[in-house]
Structure formats: C-alpha cells, structure tokens
Structure 1
C-alpha cells in the first residue's frame, strides 16, 4: 500500500487531486483519489439546458529505467458522461471503459442523482479503480503513476466545440504524478 506525496499540477480552474492512494494487491494495482474542482459556469449552464458533459480519466503506469526513458507497462482509461434530464429534474452519470458513441451507450454503469452536488461528488471520486494487472507492475521496481482527468471537448455538440475554442471557461484539467516505490523485501 502506498500513499501519495507527489506533485500536483492544475490549469484554468483551481483543480487538484487530493488523497491519491495506490494499493498493490495480488489482483493488481488499484487507484483511489478525490478530485477537487468547480465545473466552469459555462459548462454548468449547458448541463442545466440538457447538454451532457463528458469527462476522461486516464492512468498511465511507467517503469523507471536508468538507462533509457521510462517504459509504459500499463494504461487504463475511464469515460464519464454527466447529463441532466430537465423533465424529471434528475442527474445521470454513466461510466464506461470505452468512449460513448451516438449508436448507444454500450456496456456502462449508470447512476441517478436527485441533486447536482451529489452527481458532481460522484464524478470527483475515484475508488479502487484497477489500473494495472499484477504481472507488469514488478514489486522490486520503481514505477510512476500519471493520473489525468479532463473535460472532453470533442464529445460536445459542434456549436459548443466551436464556441469553446480559446475560452478558458471550458477548461477542466487535473493531472498528478506519483512515484510507487519497490516493496520491501521480506
């Protein structure tokens, strides 16, 4: 089990990842964190008008090599779709391992919320997300885990994509790196 004391970087809005935790078990490497950000006012207004917001969470595991650049040993991506249904006044959060398409949602986990704050809390919380299997993450090697959370502008309707170009009011980006040290010999 490793706890974070890494460096956090944020852009546009005051965004950060707190309490980053990596758990190395016999099943794999699991990541848990709490993201802290406020959704930009433009994005929140679009949500209340029924336009869904798409988020992407990416985790990359790199093995440290002193003789060459670090080697990527694992990568995991999670896609989130937050939408508001004005008729029912309910929020819906869909989570998937593949990008959302117009042909349907595919295999996703769906959650409903009565309150905007509850829905955003679910977006900002990542709990025991498996980012790597046990085999590529060697217990005796140094690894770096890079976490990146962002608002996916490419999934928005075209008029919003064009209107959002060059506007910092649409930017949501949280990135953080954490070094995972070798396990002590037993």
Structure 2
C-alpha cells in the first residue's frame, strides 16, 4: 500500500481547468417580417491557452447551431429547421485589431466566401460579439406555427477541427480547448419590437 502511495506522489497531478464551463444564458424566438429568428447569449471565459494562440495570430473558430422542432403527440417531434453560424476570430498584427468573420457555412482556407466581417480594438469586444448570437434565421412564418410553443435545441462550441494540424494533435486531453454550451427549451414565437 505504501509503494502505491509513493508511486501516486510521483505522478503529476491533473491540471485543473482554468476556464469555467460555458452556458447558454438567454434564448428567445422572434417573429420579424416573414421569418422566425432565434437570439441567444452564451457566457464563457476564454482559457489562457486559447488566448495565447490567438495572440500569435492563429485563428480560432466557433460554431453556433440550432434546431427547431414541431411537437407531435403520435410520434417523435418533427424537425422544422436546422441552421448554423460559423465564426472565425483572428488577431491582425499589422493593424493590431481583432477581426471576426461570420458565415452560415464553414469558413475554410480556400476563401471566406460570403461573410460578414467586423473589426474590434480589443479581444474583449470581439468576444462579446462572439457570445451574442443574434437573429439566427430559423425559417419562414409559413413553415413555423406562430401560436405554438416549439422545442429548440441550441449548441455553441469551439470548433477545434479547423485549427492547424499541430494544434489538433497536441490538444488531446487538454480541457482548455473544450468550450461547449448546450440548451434545450420550449419557446413561444414572440413579436419583435
């Protein structure tokens, strides 16, 4: 028993995760014009390791995904809509500004395609924009019943599959790269102000 205790003392202690878990703090469905939109807010702290990677000019990718269902009493709920928003956050060393690219499709190195680009002076300002997922179009009013309450599943995550290959190999078992938030709620379709 003492040999086992001695061996356990030699093994390195597991590193405590520096980041608090991510959570979805707000979700609501709104009707605007002829469409239904989802607005969500996510709260998380960026781990030091991820911040260091960003400071070196390496882009980090986030994905927000949502699914809207119609309840059925006779079978499982029917998925009415499924959408995603892809975000690329990168530091621009020449201008000393942060750039956020937002697209409905994955952003690849082959080109950004049709993206919304925003520039920020500080990392905290850029992260606030990442944490607010506003007006995610779920579908047309004709497809989504206004008077019903709809189950909505929302997921937000750090997409490590788009990082450069050396980072993907080195991140195995590191909790700093695990930023994930998920929430399921039954939401009514409200009117936008």
- Which deviates more from structure 2 when the two are superposed, residues 161-170 or residues 124-133? 124-133
Would you say the 8 A contact 2:29–2:188 is kept in 1? Answer: no
SS in 1 for 2:108: coil
The separation in 2 between residues aligned to 1:66 and 1:167, in whole angstroms, is: 43
What is the aligned partner in structure 2 of residue 62 from structure 1? 69
Would you say the 8 A contact 1:93–1:111 is kept in 2? Answer: yes
- Which deviates more from structure 2 when the two are superposed, residues 72-81 or residues 26-35? 26-35
SS in 2 for 1:139: coil
| Structure 1 runs (4+) greater than 3 angstroms displaced | none
Distance 1:162 1:37, change over 3 A: same
The separation in 1 between residues aligned to 2:116 and 2:138, in whole angstroms, is: 17
Task: Give 2:37's match in structure 1, choosing from 30, 34, 38.
Answer: 30
- Which deviates more from structure 2 when the two are superposed, residues 102-111 or residues 21-30? 21-30
| Structure-1-length-normalised TM-score | 0.86
Distance 1:125 1:178, change over 3 A: same
The separation in 2 between residues aligned to 1:54 and 1:38, in whole angstroms, is: 15
Structure 1 alignment gaps of length 5 or more: 1-11
| Residue 174 of structure 1 pairs with residue 171 of structure 2 | no
- Size of the aligned set, in residue pairs, is 172
- Which deviates more from structure 2 when the two are superposed, residues 163-172 or residues 72-81? 163-172
* CA distances 1:97-121 after superposition (whole Å, capped 9, x unpaired): 1111111111100000111111111
1:139 Cα shift? 2.8
* CA distances 1:126-172 after superposition (whole Å, capped 9, x unpaired): 22221222122123444211111100011000011111122111011
What is the aligned partner in structure 2 of residue 86 from structure 1? 93
1:7-46 aligned within 5 A: 13-46=20-53
* CA distances 1:13-56 after superposition (whole Å, capped 9, x unpaired): 32112232211344221111221101122111100011100011
| Structure-2-length-normalised TM-score | 0.83
The separation in 1 between residues aligned to 2:146 and 2:155, in whole angstroms, is: 24
Would you say the 8 A contact 1:15–1:174 is kept in 2? Answer: yes
Structure 2 alignment gaps of length 5 or more: 1-18
Q: Which has the larger radius of gyration?
A: 2
The separation in 1 between residues aligned to 2:68 and 2:123, in whole angstroms, is: 33
